[in-house]
């Protein structure tokens, strides 16, 4: 019984983050955060929920995503949450609505690999770059 629970634990933890770990049940997985900064420079109030605009419209709440290994195998999958609007420029423009980017952050659990890529809604995958400045994260910036 204890063994069954231990086998299920990674799956339960993955479920708690809203994401699934794909095809990596026998490997150790580490929690990390996938962050995507969509630099669409759309006019919004900073801090509001957002989605990508223009050519980045497929970045939005509930959009399906997969984290891929260098061979294209899926390591984790899930749905993006809503993005958060962040000011594109440091200057105080003195207005409520200002040029912003849309930033997404979603927790995943993935096994160790030399590199990772992110596929959103079946579109061409983006390179993810490790970044530990705010905790373990894999980061993509579009356009790069």
Partner 1 sequence: MLHPPSSAAAELWAQRPVVLTFFSSWCTTCASSQAALSELARSYRDRVVFVGVAGADQADEVQDYLRAHRVEYPVVLDDQQTIWRSYAVREPPAVVLVAKGGALLRGWPGGLDASTLDQRLRELVLADQP
Q: Does 66 bind partner 1 (CB under 8 A)?
A: no
Cα–Cα dist 95/136, whole Å: 34
* Of residues 13, 136, 121, the one with CA closest to residue 62: 121
Is residue 119 helix, strand or coil?
Answer: strand
- DSSP one-letter code for 3: H
Q: What is the dihedral of CA 56, 57, 58, 59, to 10 degrees?
A: 70
CB of 61 to partner 1, least distance (A): 4
Minimum gap (Å) between residue 1 Cβ and partner 1: 40
Tell me which of 82, 89, 93, 130 binds partner 1, using CB under 8 A: 82
Stretch that binds partner 1, among 7-15, 56-64, 107-115, 132-140 (CB under 8 A): 56-64
Residue from 63, 67, 138, 140 binding partner 1 (CB under 8 A): 63
- Residues lying near partner 1 in the complex (CB under 8 A) are found at 42-45, 48-51, 53-54, 57, 60-63, 82, 97
């Amino acid at each position: 019984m204890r063994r069954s629970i231990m086998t299920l634990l990674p799956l339960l933890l993955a479920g708690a983050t809203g994401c699934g770990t794909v095809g990596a049940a026998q490997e150790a997985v580490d929690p990390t955060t996938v962050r995507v900064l969509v630099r669409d420079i759309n006019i919004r109030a900073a801090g509001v929920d957002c989605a990508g605009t223009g050519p980045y419209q497929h970045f939005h709440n509930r959009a399906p995503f997969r984290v891929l290994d260098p061979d294209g195998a899926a390591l984790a999958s899930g749905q993006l949450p809503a993005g958060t609007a962040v000011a594109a420029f440091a200057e105080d423009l003195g207005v409520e609505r200002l040029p912003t980017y849309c930033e997404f952050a979603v927790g995943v659990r993935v096994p160790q690999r030399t590199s990772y890529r992110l596929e959103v809604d079946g579109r061409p995958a983006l390179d993810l770059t490790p970044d530990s400045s705010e905790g373990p994260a894999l980061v993509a910036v579009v356009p790069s």
